[in-house]
Amino acid sequence: MITIHNFPRGARGVRVFWVCEEMGLPYRTEAVSFPPGETYLALNPMGTVPFLTDAGGVAINESVAMMLYLAERYGPTPLLPARDDPKLAKVLQFTFYGEGTLGAGMNPLMMAKFGAPAGEKDLWMTRALYGRMETAIGIVAKALGDGPFIAGESFTLADISVSTALDMWKGALGKEVPPALAAWRERVQGRPAYQRAAAAQQR
């Protein structure tokens, strides 16, 4: 059975819960303490979350890889366009963008906010990264334009990946989501599957 380990309220884990909920896949959750204990480190030496296991020895510690694994292994699903669909490129681009650009850029900002000594939180690199993230989020707004979803008329993995990255921007970093993305984010996170995913860690 699909098992997903996550910190309580961890946005990256919610990504994976959300894919399962949209696809109707049964899964179980395991809460991970912070800092992770030795039992979890034996399972996932990186100590990161989320961490997914599945039948056949599957073990994955990258959230976007989990999303694609679930869509491919248990699909087909509207979340991931078919190989001959022109929208596939944009879906893949922004699914990876949600972590490779947005999430990766936010990691050091969260480390600085929660771990750096008081006099070292506002360094040049920190200020530069905030500016880079604002630019990166603006690129999402431009891609969305007036459309209902990032890749066009259909809700996809790209919407899940990017909107949960913005949860870190707003929740952990305390920054505002720009108005150009606020209505889209509210709409996608109003989906019943997201509501179930957001509550999944308490199961």
Give pLDDT tens digits for 176-191.
Answer: 999 999 999 999 999 9
Per CATH, domain 87-192 is 1.20.1050.10 = yes
pLDDT at 203 over 60: no
Q: How far apart are CA 173 and CA 11, in angstroms?
A: 12
Per-residue pLDDT, averaged over 103-129, amounts to 85
Q: Which fold does the domain 2-79 belong to in CATH?
A: Glutaredoxin (3.40.30)
pLDDT at 66 over 80: yes
Q: What is the pLDDT of residues 152-175, one digit of tens each?
A: 999 999 999 999 999 999 999 999
In the chain, which segments carry CATH 1.20.1050.10?
Answer: 87-192
pTM (2 d.p.): 0.94
In the chain, which segments carry CATH 3.40.30.10?
Answer: 2-79
Cα 4 to its chain centre, rounded Å, is 14
Q: Which residues contact 99 (CB under 8 A, 6 or more apart)?
A: 12, 62, 63, 64, 161, 165
From 15, 8, 4, select the one nearest 162 (Cα to Cα): 15
Q: How far apart are CA 63 and CA 78, in angstroms?
A: 19
**Given this model, what pLDDT does residue 137 score?**
97
pLDDT at 74 over 80: yes
State percent of the chain over pLDDT 90. 84
Sign of the dihedral through C-alpha 103, 72, 23, 85:
positive
Whether residue 106 contacts residue 52, with contact meaning beta carbons closer than 8 Å, is answered with no
